[in-house]
Amino acid sequence: MTKKFFLNLCFFPLSILSVGFLQLNISKLISPSAVHATNWNAYNRHVESGGRNLNNGNYQKAVDFYNKALKIYKRDGAIFYNRALSNYELGNYEEAIEDYKEALNLENKMRSAITHLNIGNAYKEIEDFEKALFHFNKAISIKPNEGFYYQDRGSLYWELEKWDEALKDYEIAKSKYLKKKVKIDEYFYNDIGYVYFKLGAFNLAIDNYEKAIEINPKEGMFYTDRGDALYELGKEDEACENYIKSSELGYEEIQDYLNSSDGDWCKK
């Protein structure tokens, strides 16, 4: 679960998808005298338009407006930060990394943990895992009590198939979520279930898959994953029931499997 946060001078965008956001209004940190008075209104318009388009998912337009703002004034870390968010959503990960780093240079104490987390996720996207881990570790060292920081680092260990390290981070994340009474979503439970599965702890995997199903019984993937764990425990009939349920819910991966010769053993 990747967490990204908007920083905006004039307004704070609403949440999109399942991403969370932190509001920070830093307009008072910049004096109008920092730019020519004739440009100040134009600067604010570009910033507002950039934020509006970012919030509405028009990422290229957001980048275009932030570019215009930066031609007028280049000393506001929030603009680089929000342009980084836009570039990230466009898949321009290297550009996003450069903008995040510039935001850190300009506003060293401004949301630095979140910025390092986002840099880590951008490096993860381009598969520079060593640098991703460095920035995840940096984020955790700054804010060691935030569960999603550990979750994101756990997802990196997942990519590297370092299951023991992934499990440790997911369990830390879960304990911090529960302590803060943060709602844990179904995909987190499914992810930690899969880590247990890869470690051969099939009953613990099932426990977490069932928590995911309890939250969202319409997600076919969860039934396939539970079926895999049941199959490994020798409970083939129960596994088959889960595969069929998953197929009925439209999970294409298991549909292809059941329609292949490999899935002949599991028929209605």
pLDDT in tens, 186-216: 999 999 999 999 999 999 999 999 999 999 9
Tokens of 104: 């850190």
Helix (H, G, I), strand (E, B) or coil at 138: helix
**CA-based nearest residue to 189, from 204, 201, 202:** 204
Distance CA 227, CA 238 (A): 7
The model's confidence at residue 39, banded by pLDDT at 50, 70 and 90, is confident
What's the burial of 208, exposed, middle or buried (CB within 10 Å: 0-12/13-18/19+)? buried
Q: How many residues does the chain have?
A: 268
Q: Classify the C-alpha dihedral 85-86-92-94 as positive or negative.
A: negative
The model's confidence at residue 267, banded by pLDDT at 50, 70 and 90, is confident
- Termini Cα distance of the chain: 36
* Pairwise pLDDT comparison (249 vs 76), residue with the higher score: 249
- For residue 74, count other CB atoms closer than 10 A to its CB: 12
Chain segment 82-133, per-residue pLDDT in tens = 999 999 999 999 999 999 999 999 976 656 999 999 999 999 999 999 999 9
**CA-based nearest residue to 115, from 87, 131, 89, 138:** 138
pLDDT of 4 > 70? The answer is no
pTM: 0.83
Tokens of 34: 């920092």
Distance CA 151, CA 172 (A): 8
**CA-based nearest residue to 160, from 127, 116, 191:** 127
- The rounded mean pLDDT for the chain is 87
Domains of the chain, first to last: 185-268 (1.25.40.10)
